[in-house]
Amino acid sequence: MISQLKYKYPYFFEDIQRNLNLKRIKENIKFYYRAFQNSQLHKINPQLTPHQDQLGQLIKDGVVVIEEFLSSTQVDKIVDELKTKTEIYSKDKENVKFFYSNYVVEKVDEVAPSSKLFFESDYINSLVKAYLSEEVRSVNKCARLKFNIFEDHKDYTEEYHYDADTPIFRAFLYLSDVGPDEGPFTYLAGSNRGFFWKLKKEKEEYVSNYPLKNPVFGEIVWDHRTYLLPEVHKLCINWGFEQKVITGKKGTLILADTRGLHKASPVKKPNCHRLVLVNKLEVVDTADYSNLGKLTK
């Protein structure tokens, strides 16, 4: 039995053996306790939503896709408001924020009122509250426009990563048709569950306790949370995770627990683009334990 556990959870047992000294026991107990606590879906409350099938899929896979969540007419109205009230489609885009291959409009619900059909949706809110907590709130509402970018441009969001290990959730609404060449969202179904699979990365982050800066744009990133393809392949074999590349027509809704592994995709052709609304939601009473302090050496 022990040998089987050591095979499946090698890092857990190796880490225990490395840290059997009094100076580090306290910090290691704190780390493992918080890692386990933050990984649990302990606040699931099915009574908060009538959409039980979708909730069940979220619990199982960490992602759910709803086609035709908004009609083409509703989507076109949102796009028209973005075109007339922002510079996101302008030629120079001097006043538009550029962030990880995307031109971004923040607080988009204020400039494109029709987007509130998405940001204030009872359907979405009830599912997220049932899945995470009644204390969930939106912390960022934006529109992102992505084009084909020059080949040497580095975008870490196009590598598999998880956003945090505290309750965090994103809702996406495609405002354009998104096929394989238009930068579809990709999720590793099943990676929302458990915490042993990400234990090594979390420990690296906890020990180092510093964010890294993107060398091109200077944004803060947590490279400890990024997985390369060989690591992802191994996780799929050992844990049964399944890659889901989510294409869809405009109006397609994606709900994703971004504690699980996910990534953006590049827009592959010069004449293609992808426009999407993004709502980032978090639980009010939690904080990422990565900044608690370095482990005692």
Tens-digit pLDDT profile for residues 151-203: 666 677 888 998 876 788 999 999 999 999 999 999 999 999 877 787 777 76
Contact 109, 259 (CB under 8 A): no
Mean pLDDT along residues 219-234: 74
Q: What is the number of other CB atoms lying within 10 angstroms of the CB of residue 28? A: 19
Instruction: Dig out the tokens for 127 from the structure.
Output: 């599912």
Percentage of the chain modeled with pLDDT above 70: 70
pLDDT, tens only, 49-96: 999 999 999 999 999 999 999 999 999 999 999 999 888 887 777 777
Residue 75 neighbours by CB under 8 Å, 6+ apart = 173, 175, 250, 251
253-257 and 63-66 as β-strands: parallel, antiparallel, unpaired?
antiparallel
Assigned CATH topology for domain 2-291 = Jelly Rolls (2.60.120)
In the numeric block, the tokens 């959409």 are attached to: 51
What is the per-residue pLDDT for 34?
67
Query: How far is Cα 294 from Cα 291, in angstroms, rounded to an integer?
Result: 8
Domain positions in the chain: 2-291
What is the per-residue pLDDT for 58?
95
What is the per-residue pLDDT for 214?
43
| SS3 state of residue 199 | helix
What is the DSSP track for 238-267? HH--EEEEE-B-TT-EEEEETTS-EE---B
What is the per-residue pLDDT for 288?
43
Instruction: Say which DSSP state 217 is in.
Output: T
